[in-house]
Amino acid sequence: MSVSVKNLSKIYAQQKAVDNISFDVKKGEILGFLGPNGAGKSTTMKMLTCYLPPSSGTANVCNFDIVQQPQEVKKRIGYLPENNPLYYDMYVKEFLEFALKVHGHQSTVDSRQAIKKSIDLVGLNIEQHKKIGQLSKGYKQRVGLAQALIHNPEILILDEPTSGLDPNQLADIRSLIKELGKEKTIIFSTHIMQEVQAVCDRVIIINKGKIVANDTTDNLQNLLSNEVLIEVEFENIISEIELNTIKNIHSIEKISNTNFILHGKESTELRKDIFAFAVAKNNPLLTLKQETKSLEDIFHQLTNK
Amino acid sequence: MTAILKKEINLFFSSLIAYISMAVFFIVLALNLFIFQGNILDSNYATLDTFFTLSPWILIFLIPAITMRTFADEKQSGTIEFLTTKPITDFQIVMGKYLAALLLWLFTFLPTLIYFVCVKKLSLAEAPIDSGATYGSYIGLFFLGAVFVAVGIFASSITNNQIVAFLVGVFLCYFLYDAFFRISSLTIFQGQLDYFIQAIGLNAHYDSISRGVVDTRDLIYFLSVISLFLIGTRTALESRKWS
């Protein structure tokens, strides 16, 4: 196990920020941390990176305990903190060199190569000669990422790495994470469902300090979809009362007079019934589309308590 | 630790505060020594006493101004999270920052040796400046500054507001330098405790070294106070771990 968390808790005076969570992350896995704001994602990450001590429970990173052997743990982690704190007065390369040196790399030749490599990886080439304070938010985020991976750590812990990026940059960073995930273990937190679906192998959903879901992205979608959604569009206007005559429909959502989403139990039979219905009513069917319950719906379902 | 040292030095010199502080120190003292009323050119004594009596009072404000941002700024911008999740010990962070500030104090301090050279050249051959006492005073002044730097860094580590760090630093520096002397002059302490209370203060040890005799008691005192405040700084840094 690359990262192993057992019964980890963080309790502030009145509040249980993290409440007895346990999970494992295998080597080379990309884990997505999902959850509403204030759920405990950042606090968990701060404990894993030895910034905060846990109130109870243990965690092992590469078989080193976060409380007993913090220096060993920190050597093996690349961390991008939430809010991406940076030294605005330093130049990009100066900062990256500092990040490298602070991890114990002394040789100058290797440093220059490592810095160049990390700048290339995150796409900072154009901006590499500026002071950090002069960069736009997206590029500052990239500097944060560069410092996390410059010393080639086994594990990357990224707290909302894509926050504040524009769609182009988002695509770049996601493919970067996926690329890095081939060799490294990555834990990252986000609010964006498509990101999780696109990049992660596994997802953990946290709500109010507790884990409410912990499974692979595919399994999660299958498991919690206990109903199918079929989008239908007819050529002519049709009323809900008529639609209700189709068997095995739980509910109907109206989008327009001709466009509806039908919630039902089983997909194939329902679609056959809809087709037969359209034929019977002499109302050509323009759209018959099955929608799987999105991760966003699952998120709502699990966290709206 | 050297990485932090290098970064801090660069940071000091990339902001105006360091240059202004150094210039202010040098210029104000030069003015008082050579130009303003009471200067040695008028009084005709070949001594740098004015310099050594005035310096601590200026340093009480100057050094906290230089050190106020060392930790407070990091806490406010959140970079302290960056620093403490790196594989360096809290002690290395504290020492790196202390040594950088100390180096800055050294750079501020060294140009004032010119005063000594000036006065020496100006003084008559029969009544030259008391070199022994002057060397002692310079050593005393350097250690005094070193103590103030440690105090300033400690003050910076207990808050995330630079102004508070400055004010606390000034207060603590003043307290260490002068307050014990004043307290010891209260009548209840006369004759018995007054000597000991005085001995806790910086003033007594500074004067003592200024006589020209480098007493190990004084050196131990200075080093102890520096250690005390550096340990205090490290404790303040670790306090994030207490809930």
Concatenate the DSSP letters of all residues of A4-44 into one string.
EEEEEEEE-SS-EEEEEEEEEE-TT-EEEEE--TTSSHHHH
What local confidence, expressed as pLDDT, does residue A122 receive? Answer: 86
- Say if the ipTM goes beyond 0.95: no
Q: Bridge partners of A13?
A: none
What local confidence, expressed as pLDDT, does residue A294 receive? Answer: 66
What local confidence, expressed as pLDDT, does residue A289 receive? Answer: 85
Burial of A305 (0-12, 13-18, 19+ CB in 10 A): exposed
Structural domains in chain A plus CATH codes: 3-216 (3.40.50.300), 225-303 (3.30.70.980)
Scored b (16 or more CB within 10 A) or e, B5-26 reads bbbbbebbeeeeebeebbeebb
Q: Are A114 and A100 in contact (CB under 8 A)?
A: yes
Gyration radius from chain B CA atoms: 19
The span from the CA of B40 to the CA of A41, in Å, is: 67
Closest C-alpha among A291, A294, A295, A293 to residue A204:
A295
What local confidence, expressed as pLDDT, does residue A225 receive? Answer: 56
Q: What is the pLDDT of residues B25-63, one digit of tens each?
A: 888 888 888 777 667 777 777 777 888 888 899 999 999
- Name the residue among B4, B79, B87 with its Cβ closest to that of A74: B87
Nearest chain B residue (CA) to A89:
B11
What local confidence, expressed as pLDDT, does residue B32 receive? Answer: 81
What local confidence, expressed as pLDDT, does residue B226 receive? Answer: 94
- The three-class DSSP label of residue A254 is strand
Inter-chain residue contact B11 with A89, CB threshold 8 Å:
yes
- Chain A residue numbers with beta carbons less than 8 Å from the beta carbon of B4 are 102
Closest C-alpha among B101, B46, B42 to residue B70:
B101
- Name the residue among B7, B15, B85 with its Cβ closest to that of A51: B85
pLDDT, averaged per 10 consecutive residues of chain A (305 residues), comes to 86 85 89 86 90 90 88 90 90 90 73 87 86 89 90 90 83 87 90 80 87 77 66 85 79 83 77 86 86 69 69
Closest C-alpha among B151, B160, B186, B185 to residue B60:
B151
What local confidence, expressed as pLDDT, does residue A138 receive? Answer: 85
- Name the residue among A79, A83, A102 with its Cβ closest to that of B88: A102
- With a cut of 80, say whether residue B97 has pLDDT above it: yes
How far A96 CA sits from the closest chain B CA (Å)?
A: 11
Residues 6+ apart with CB under 8 A from A91: A129, A130, A131, A132
Inter-chain residue contact B15 with A89, CB threshold 8 Å:
yes
Nearest chain B residue (CA) to A131:
B14
What values do phi and psi take at A33, rounded to 5?
-105, 115
Q: How confident is the model at residue B150 (pLDDT cuts 50, 70, 90)?
A: very high
- Chain A residue numbers with beta carbons less than 8 Å from the beta carbon of B243 are 11-12, 53, 55
Closest C-alpha among B69, B95, B61, B93 to residue B165:
B69
B182 touches chain A (CB under 8 A): no
Q: Bridge partners of A158?
A: A80, A188
Q: What is the pLDDT of residues B160-212, one digit of tens each?
A: 899 999 999 999 999 988 887 787 777 676 666 777 777 788 888 888 888 87
- Chain A residue numbers with beta carbons less than 8 Å from the beta carbon of B11 are 87, 89-90
Inter-chain residue contact B82 with A86, CB threshold 8 Å:
yes
- Chain B residue numbers with beta carbons less than 8 Å from the beta carbon of A51 are 81, 84-85, 240
Inter-chain residue contact A12 with B4, CB threshold 8 Å:
no
Closest C-alpha among A116, A146, A128 to residue A91:
A128
B190 touches chain A (CB under 8 A): no
- Chain B residue numbers with beta carbons less than 8 Å from the beta carbon of A50 are 84-85
B239 touches chain A (CB under 8 A): no
Best mutation target, A48, A55, A84, A102, to test chain B (most B CBs within 10 A): A102
Across all residues in chain B, what is the average pLDDT?
86
Q: How confident is the model at residue B224 (pLDDT cuts 50, 70, 90)?
A: very high
Q: Are A146 and A183 in contact (CB under 8 A)?
A: no
- Chain A residue numbers with beta carbons less than 8 Å from the beta carbon of B85 are 49-51, 74, 77, 79, 81
A55 touches chain B (CB under 8 A): yes
Best mutation target, A55, A64, A69, A87, to test chain B (most B CBs within 10 A): A87
* HEC secondary structure over chain B: CHHHHHHHHHHHHHCHHHHHHHHHHHHHHHHHHHHCCCCHHHHCCCCCHHHHHHHHHHHHHHHHHHHCHHHHHHHHHCHHHHHHCCCCCHHHHHHHHHHHHHHHHHHHHHHHHHHHHHHHHHCCCCCCCCHHHHHHHHHHHHHHHHHHHHHHHHHHHCCCCHHHHHHHHHHHHHHHHHHHHHHHCCHHHCCCCHHHHHHHCHHHHHHHHHCCCCCHHHHHHHHHHHHHHHHHHHHHHHHHHCC
A52 touches chain B (CB under 8 A): yes
Nearest chain A residue (CA) to B81:
A51
CA A264, chain centre distance (Å): 29
- With a cut of 60, say whether residue B243 has pLDDT above it: no
The span from the CA of A9 to the CA of A32, in Å, is: 19
Instruction: Report the phi/psi class of residue A63: left, alpha or beta, with left for phi > 0 and alpha for psi in -120 to 50.
Output: left
**What's the one-letter identity of residue A162?**
T
Length in residues, chain B: 243
- Tell which B residues from 76 to 115 touch A, by Cβ distance under 8 Å: 77-89
